[in-house]
Amino acid sequence: MAEPAPAVEQADPADMDAWASENASDPAAAGGGEGEWQAGGASERILNQDEIDSLLGFELSDGEDGERTGIRAIINSALVSYERLPMLEIVFDRLVRLMTTSLRNFTSDNVEVSLDNISSIRFGDYLNSIPLPAILSVFRAEELDNYGLLTVDSNLIYSIVDVLLGGRRGTAAMRIEGRPYTTIERVLVQRMVEVVLADAKAAFEPLTPVTFNLDRLETNPRFAAIARPANAAILIKLRIDMEDRGGRIELLLPYATLEPIRKMLLQQFMGEKFGRDNIWESHLATELWTTQMEVRAVLDEHQVPLKDVLNFKVGDTLMLNAMPDDPVELRAGTVFLAHGQMGRRNHQISVRCSGPLSEAARQAVREQA
């Protein structure tokens, strides 16, 4: 026979109240592990995936042009913003107008060129974001002694080939995936790139003369590395529409390429370098008259071995090759000013200038002004 189940004794309410009062300060005894998390870790909350993405700045819903937030915004804060170079927008607006005319002549078709946006990006991030297949044109800015990158996407490549080889209007360009670009396609794209680079040269002409020469065409982004992956660059996205066909051109200029003309790109308007500010000129002239400058009178120069210089002692005599009537040189730092004659005036040694200010000194003054 089965043993009868033990009877359950009813707890005394007085005993339960005593036990509750004794363990009121012990969360583990009152509710185990879960009670301990609720009492001791009330301020600690586990983040969900959306909150983690927002903290790190990686939002899947945001496009590549979206505003960065979180830690990613802090990391990318070192990038050079094109807004600090206001003249760039004027230059590329001029490039859009020039390309509209030149591409119409090149394709004999109705071409519309528009500027999508100008943004700052790291060079390595851009190489990883290029949609393949594409043709990457590496060009050299001769006067700036550096390189740039021009990317033509697949849609524009097939559209240009279709237009130049007599494709019908109203039909989309045929795309054949999974094969490399043929020689004919590469040659036609190269001709279009040369037209764009010629327009870029004309766009920079009012600011500074820059010659852009095509260096090579690449289809693999790894072979188009013109800067370090962490270097900042300026990305310009241009949209080219030919009725129902078209594509995108992306022009990338590393910040190192634009560094020689950075002062020019900081101008607020194109005529800033030609205008004259009379108030500033008069203020500068007034301040120059009150400026103090240290002028040195050099009696003579000769070279001494370093070991002799280290052995100099108090009381040593240095013999100079200058005579009392020999002229001395007046210098401001390393700049030669004029020749002078040593003399004495009111019990003080003085120098009287015996010639006009040198041309090198005049040039230095003009450069400072």
Residue 361: pLDDT band (50, 70, 90) is: low
* Banded pLDDT at 167 (limits 50, 70, 90): confident
Is pLDDT at 220 greater than 80 in this prediction?
Answer: yes
For the domain spanning 82-272, the CATH number is: 3.40.1550.10
Least confident of 12-21, 106-115, 166-175, 238-247: 12-21
Confidence label for 173 from pLDDT (cuts 50, 70 and 90): low
Which carries the bigger pLDDT value, residue 12 or residue 230? 230
What pLDDT score does 368 carry?
59
CA–CA separation, 290 and 334 (whole Å)? 22
CATH 1.10.275.10 correct for 276-311+323-368:
no
Q: Is the pLDDT of residue 6 over 90?
A: no
6: Cβ–Cβ under 8 A, 6 or more apart, which residues?
none
pLDDT for res 275: 54
- When mean pLDDT is compared over 15-19, 69-73, 228-232, the highest value belongs to 228-232
Tell which residue, 66, 100, 95, has the closest CA to residue 246.
Answer: 100
- What percentage of the chain reaches a pLDDT higher than 90? 21
List of residues 6+ apart from 1 with CB closer than 8 A: none
Q: What is the pTM of this model?
A: 0.55
Q: Where are the domains of the chain?
A: 82-272, 276-311+323-368
Q: What is the largest CA-CA distance in the chain?
A: 140
Strand partners, 213: 140
Q: 27-55 pLDDT, tens per residue?
A: 444 444 444 444 444 457 787 887 777 77
Helix (H, G, I), strand (E, B) or coil at 216: strand
Is residue 115's pLDDT more than 50?
yes
Rounded to whole angstroms, how far apart are CA atoms 182 and 94? 33
